[in-house]
Amino acid sequence: MTETPSPQEAFDLLLAGNQRFVAGVPEHPNQDAARRAAIAPGQRPFAVLFGCSDSRLAAEIIFDRGLGDLFVVRTAGQVIGVEVLGSIEYGVDLLDCPLVVVLGHDSCGAVGAACAALEDGLTPAGYVRDVVERVTPSVLAARAAGHVEADEILAEHVKHTVDLLLDRSRVLADRVESGRAAVVGLRYRLADGSAQVVAARGLEVTAAS
């Protein structure tokens, strides 16, 4: 990719790759020795992907992309800290990525643990507790809106994460406001591999319910 795509073009590339993955006809682009050599001098990814660390969410596989395509940041439950913000801003500001994707998924352990902590008061030990505490506001917001189903709670967490990114990162917010970037929240289904839009800022796309 020699020219920076628009936010919409970047989203279309990502969505097309996921559709190929779901259909079982991946093209495995940009995964050969020629691509490796071509990008050795520098990277120009077309999207920042901020997702959960879950082993089933390998970004380049589920979106059928290759070397140099995605700038990937992952934490358990896709929770945000200063390192995450700095990494995303690096991708957006210094690498000029026009798209930031927040990727959540069903059966997320962090979301499940936050729900359990609210129900029975039991929280994990160590730093896992910090992860659960950062997910808890999303679960509380979902419940306040009358959402109790797992998919609804997940969607609320993804939406909350999108809003939190834009609230905390002036760099990202400025890019979205100027039309140079967009942020999309996706809900990934482990069983069929599909990624559905649940939130979008800076793009005109239809969000799933």
pLDDT in tens, 157-183: 999 999 999 999 999 999 999 999 999
**What's the token pair of residue 75?**
């934490």
Q: pLDDT tens across 35-64, in order?
A: 999 999 999 999 999 999 999 999 999 999
Number of domains in the chain: 1
Higher model confidence: residue 205 or residue 81?
A: 81
The pLDDT of residue 209 is 57
Residue 209 belongs to some domain of the structure: no
CA gap 145, 143 in Å, rounded? 5
Instruction: Calculate what percentage of the chain has a pLDDT beyond 90.
Output: 91
Structural contact between residues 187 and 159, judged by C-beta atoms closer than 8 angstroms: no
2 domain residue, yes or no? no
Q: Would residue 43 count as lying in a domain?
A: yes
**Does the pTM exceed 0.75?**
yes
pLDDT for position 63: 98
The DSSP H or E segment spanning 187 is strand 182-188
Residue 1 lies in a domain: no
Mean pLDDT on 93-112: 96
Confidence class for position 208, pLDDT limits 50, 70, 90: low
CB 147, CB 170: distance < 8 Å = no
Query: Is 34 a member of any domain?
Result: yes
Residue 145 lies in a domain: yes
Domain holding 181: CATH number?
Answer: 3.40.1050.10
In a domain, 47, yes or no: yes
Please give the residue range of the domain that contains residue 94: 7-201
Q: Is residue 140 a part of any domain in this protein? A: yes
Residue 103 host element (H or E): strand 99-105
Burial class (CB in 10 A: 0-12, 13-18, 19+), 135: buried
Mean pLDDT of 122-146: 92
